[in-house]
A and B are shown apart, each in its own frame.
Chain A
C-alpha cells in the first residue's frame, strides 16, 4: 500500500464491505421478493417443486383475495352469460363464480384505522409528556420515567390474559377503540423516551425567546418546539406505526369480527377453498404498502432519528 488514510478506507476494504452489504441485502430481501412473486403465481406454480423462478404472472391471487367464490357445475357455467369483467373471467376458468367481496378490504381498513389512530395518539401524548418531562420540574421525574420504561421490559403478550379479561369487562373486545388504546399503551413508553431525547436537545432559549416575544407557553411549544422536534416526531411515528401495523398476537386474541386487523385475517385465507397461497401472498403484499410508503415519505427523518444523539450538533 502506497498511501494510508485514517478516514478513507482502502479499495479492498471498500470491496469487501460492498460484497457484505449486497449479500446482506439479498438475504433480507429474499423473503420479500418471494412473497411478492408468489402473489402473482397461479396456485399450481406457487406450490411447484423445485420452485419456479420464471412463471406466467396472473392476478388470480389478488382476485381470490378480494372475492368469495362458489363452485358451480360446468353446465350451470355454460348457461351463464359471458363474464362482464376480467376478474370474473379468471374466476370462471376455475369453474367458479364470484359470490361477493371478501372481508379483506374491511380488515385492511381496520388496520389503517387502528394503526394510524394509535400512532397518532402515541405520538401526540408522547410529545406532550416528553415536553413536560424535559422542561418542567415533575415530582419523582426519574422514578416516573423509569416506570414508563419498565412497561417495556416484558413482552406485552405476557399480560395477555389480564388484558383479555379487562377488555371483556369494559366491553372493549373487538372494538377499534380498544385496539387503539392497547397499541397506544404499548407504544407510549417508546414515544416518551424517544421524544424526550429529541426535546432535550432543543435549547430552552428558543421557547424563552418566544415567551418574551409575547407568546404563551403553549404557543411557544406549538410554534417553536414542535417544528424543531419534527424529526423526532416523524421517526417516533414510524416506529409506533410499524409496531401497531404488524402486531399479530393481541389482534388474534382480542379481535375476531368488526375490529379485526389484517394480520390475523391473512392466515384465514388459507382455509377458504384449499391452500390458496397466491391469495395469502397477495394479502401480505398489499399489507406491506402503507408502511412502506409512510417510511419512504419520512425516511430522511428516520435516518436522523435512528442515529440521533450520536453526533452532537
Chain B
C-alpha cells in the first residue's frame, strides 16, 4: 500500500489542455474520490496516475518513487475500468489469474490466490464460466477480483459503478467500501456523481476544466466550499447564491442584503464590489420573524422534507424544510439563515472569501 503524491501535473492533448497543474496528496489507505463533471480532466488524471497516459509535465510519486514517465506495467497498481474490460476470450478463473501469471507466480500459488479472492467476492461458483454471459454485478466483481488478486500498491477505479443499474449500484458501492475497509488499500476513484463521492470517499478532489477546485474531506467540501463551482456542484439541491453589491471588512460579522442585516462568520479578508451570499438550502428557515423576505414559487414534497423554491430580491432561493411546515405558493414569507454556515464569494473570481468558517480549509486547497 502506498501514498500517492501529485505535483503540478499537467496534460495537453495537442492544443487542448486537459489537466492544468494539479497538486494533491493521497494518503496511504485512503479512499480518494476524483469528482467533477464530464470533461473536467478527472479520468485523465487517473489514467496518468495509472500510467495509461504520460503527463506533459509534473510529477507523480507512488510510495515515494517518481513514476510519471514509467509505463503502466512497472507501477504495480490495479485499474478497474468502467466497462470492466474483462478479457473476453478467457473464463472467469483465467481473468483472475492473468495478473498473477504475468508475475511468474507458480501455478499452485495462483490457484490458491484466485480461490481466496473468489471467496472474498463471492464468485467461487462462477469461476469456470466464460465472462460473456455474466450479469453486470458479477462482471463488476470479477473486475474487482482481477484488481485485488495481485495486492497492488493502489487501486484506480474509473466510474466502476457507472455501468450498473441504479438499484445494484447502491449495493455495489457498499460492497466496494466494505472491501476497501477490509483491505485498507489506497484507492483512487473517479466519479461524476457527487452523492457517490460523499458517500464513499475519505477525501474528495473536485475538478473542473482541468483545475483542482478543492481538495478535502466530504464534510469540509460540503460545508466550506472554496469556490462557487464546488458549492454548486456538490449538494442537491445545490447551494443558494444571493448576489449583491456591498463591502465587507475583515472582522465583519454581518452583511447587508436588500436593506436587511444578515449574520455571517467573522470575515478574515476585506472585499468590495460584486459579492455572493452562499447558503445551503437546509440552513434556510421559513419564519415570520425574518426580516429578509421571499415569495414562494413552488414546493417539492420529498417525504420527511420538502424543497421550497422562493423568489427574493437577490435572486431565486431554495429551502429544505420539514414537510410538516406549510408553505403556500404565492405567499410572502420571512427567511432566516444560519449565520455560522454562510460562505461569501467574490462573484468575479468565484472564490470564497476567507472567514472563521473556512479559513483552515482554504489554506489547504
- Total interface residues in chain B, CB < 8 Å: 24
Query: B85 and A214: CB pair below 8 A?
Result: no
Q: Mark interface residues in A196-220 (1 if CB within 8 Å of B CB, else 0).
A: 0000000101101111111111010
Q: How far is the CA of A228 from the CA of B87 in the complex (A)?
A: 9
> Does A101 count as interface, using CB distance less than 8 angstroms?
no
Contact of B87 among A209, A212, A214, A216 (CB under 8 A): A209
| With known contacts A214-B103, A227-B89, A209–B73 Cβ distance under 8 A | no
> Does B243 count as interface, using CB distance less than 8 angstroms?
no
Query: B83 and A213: CB pair below 8 A?
Result: no
Give chain B's interface secondary structure class.
Answer: loop
| With known contacts A203-B83, A205-B83, A217-B71, A212–B88 Cβ distance under 8 A | no
Query: A211 and B72: CB pair below 8 A?
Result: yes
Query: A212 and B77: CB pair below 8 A?
Result: yes
| With known contacts A205-B83, A208-B79, A212-B72, A228–B102 Cβ distance under 8 A | no
Query: B88 and A228: CB pair below 8 A?
Result: yes
Q: How far is the CA of A71 from the CA of B150 in the complex (A)?
A: 79
B86 nearest CB across to chain A (Å): 8
Residues of B77-114 at the interface with A, using a CB-CB cut-off of 8 Å, are: 77-79, 81, 83, 85-89, 98-99, 102-103
A313 nearest CB across to chain B (Å): 10
Residues of A172-231 at the interface with B, using a CB-CB cut-off of 8 Å, are: 203, 205-206, 208-217, 219, 224, 227-228
Query: A205 and B102: CB pair below 8 A?
Result: no
Q: Mark interface residues in B141-164 (1 if CB within 8 Å of A CB, else 0).
A: 000001000100000100000000
Query: B150 and A213: CB pair below 8 A?
Result: yes
Contact of A212 among B73, B83, B89 (CB under 8 A): B73
- Total interface residues in chain A, CB < 8 Å: 17
Query: A208 and B81: CB pair below 8 A?
Result: yes
> Does B200 count as interface, using CB distance less than 8 angstroms?
no
Q: Mark interface residues in A263-295 (1 if CB within 8 Å of B CB, else 0).
A: 000000000000000000000000000000000
Query: B73 and A215: CB pair below 8 A?
Result: yes
**What residues on B are CB-neighbors of A206 within 8 Å?**
85, 87-88
**What residues on B are CB-neighbors of A217 within 8 Å?**
71
Q: Mark interface residues in A237-267 (1 if CB within 8 Å of B CB, else 0).
A: 0000000000000000000000000000000
**What residues on A are CB-neighbors of B98 within 8 Å?**
210, 213
CB nearest neighbor in B for A209: B85
B111 nearest CB across to chain A (Å): 17
**What residues on B are CB-neighbors of A209 within 8 Å?**
79, 81, 85-87, 146
Q: Mark interface residues in B51-92 (1 if CB within 8 Å of A CB, else 0).
A: 110000000000000000001110011110101011111000
| With known contacts A206-B87, A209-B87, A209-B146, A214–B73 Cβ distance under 8 A | yes
Extra inter-chain contacts (15) besides given A208-B52, A211-B71, A213-B102, CB under 8 Å: A205-B83, A206-B85, A208-B81, A209-B79, A209-B81, A209-B85, A209-B146, A211-B52, A212-B52, A212-B78, A212-B79, A212-B156, A213-B150, A214-B102, A216-B73
A interface with B by C-beta (< 8 Å): 203, 205-206, 208-217, 219, 224, 227-228
A-B CB contact pairs (8 Å), 30 listed: A203-B85, A205-B83, A206-B87, A208-B72, A208-B79, A209-B79, A209-B85, A209-B86, A209-B87, A209-B146, A210-B87, A211-B51, A211-B71, A212-B51, A212-B52, A212-B77, A212-B79, A212-B99, A212-B156, A213-B73, A213-B98, A213-B99, A213-B146, A214-B73, A214-B103, A215-B73, A215-B102, A216-B71, A224-B87, A228-B89
